[in-house]
Amino acid sequence: MNNELSFIFSRRSVRTYQPKEVGPELVQNLLESAMAAPSAVAKDPWEFLVIRERSTLARIASGLPNGGLLADAAVGIVVCGDLTRAHDHQLSYLLQDCSAAIENLLLAAQALGLGGCWLGVHPREDRVAHIRQLLAVPEQVIPVAVIAVGWPAESPAPRTRYRAEAVHYETW
Amino acid sequence: MNNELSFIFSRRSVRTYQPKEVGPELVQNLLESAMAAPSAVAKDPWEFLVIRERSTLARIASGLPNGGLLADAAVGIVVCGDLTRAHDHQLSYLLQDCSAAIENLLLAAQALGLGGCWLGVHPREDRVAHIRQLLAVPEQVIPVAVIAVGWPAESPAPRTRYRAEAVHYETW
């Protein structure tokens, strides 16, 4: 793995956190990073809910399998997409744009010494409904994922999951 | 913008390229970066076609609006997802996984001094069919995007498209 790319290989899902606050300027950095992602026709349909309230994080967690780690995360960032703003109102573009933004956010967290974990919401209807109801997310806005962020209490080793069989040259 | 995150803010769509080859070890770095992305339940449903053949790049371009820049790109990387390998066979997870991989690939390109541009394929049925037929992509594999890569002939300034209105605290 090329050392110049360690910012990518070092990003691992971090699921345990130190009991320590993540300041608002760091969260601002994460959001600026997320919104630097590419977006189809630059529609930027993404929306972000920043949750620090412990009781809200616990309630979000209760609707997500493997969401328990939110109980120890300093912040939860709910990433949504507004279908009316997505290019051609297409769910596919909304998901692509939000996912690129999430990856930027996770890489930024890693680069700032934080740890993060991507908790899936879409396409599970029960999870979408749970988040929507809990956080008063409007009908046209689709919760895609919740990103847990905190100071890491574990340091998974850098890696790639490169598979040569996934690479095809010139044609399938 | 935090300087520690310049690897994110410096990634811009690069649409003009120098007439210069991109070596196979650099392409390998890009693919290792792409396959270091998070993936729902680590299913890694992504597949990559690496295209250098000029006539193939021209044919891909003919089916993509704004695909003309592929004519000058050193490499085109077609990113696809295998629906049978995606978590729970869900298109949403396939798109999320592939988009995170694409963002890693684009950030890696930028960090290596290369430039890249994300050309949308899915959900446009005509573009999907064009790529599928041209490159013999199997039925269960969905072409998501084509990434043009080359040595940049332009250097767009770093930026974020941060919008304060896209950020909500504690609830919508």
- DSSP states along A10-49: T--B---B-S----HHHHHHHHHHHTTS--GGG---EEEE
Say whether A36 and B11 touch across the interface (CB within 8 A). Answer: yes
Mutate to test the interface with B, among A12, A46, A91, A162 (most CBs of B within 10 A): A162
Q: Which CATH architecture has domain B10-152?
A: 3-Layer(aba) Sandwich (3.40)
The whole-angstrom distance between B117's CA and the closest CA on chain A is: 9
Torsion of CA A115, A103, A4, A26, to 10 degrees: -50
Residues of A in contact with B135 (CB under 8 A): 171-172
Residues of A in contact with B170 (CB under 8 A): 49-53, 56
Residue of A nearest to B95 (CA): A96
d(CA A84, CA A96): 15
The whole-angstrom distance between A60's CA and the closest CA on chain B is: 11
Q: Which residues of chain A have pLDDT under 70?
A: none
Say whether B5 and A111 touch across the interface (CB within 8 A). Answer: yes
Tell me the whole-structure pTM to 2 decimals: 0.98
Mean pLDDT of successive 10-residue stretches along chain B, which has 172 residues: 95 98 98 98 98 98 95 97 98 98 98 98 98 98 98 97 98 97
Say whether A11 and B100 touch across the interface (CB within 8 A). Answer: no
The whole-angstrom distance between B87's CA and the closest CA on chain A is: 11
The reported pLDDT for the residue numbered A102 is: 98
CA angle B145-B150-B152, nearest 5°?
120
The reported pLDDT for the residue numbered B52 is: 98
The reported pLDDT for the residue numbered A78 is: 98
Q: Across the interface, which of A29, A47, A160 has its CB nearest the CB of B5?
A: A29
The reported pLDDT for the residue numbered A76 is: 98
The reported pLDDT for the residue numbered A1 is: 86
The reported pLDDT for the residue numbered B1 is: 86
Say whether B172 and A32 touch across the interface (CB within 8 A). Answer: no
CA distances from residue B129 to A29, A113, B142, B147 in whole angstroms, order as listed? 40, 43, 9, 17
Q: Across the interface, which of B1, B47, B111 has its CB nearest the CB of A168?
A: B47
Residue of A nearest to B41 (CA): A120
The reported pLDDT for the residue numbered A152 is: 98
Say whether B172 and A136 touch across the interface (CB within 8 A). Answer: yes
d(CA B29, CA A4): 10
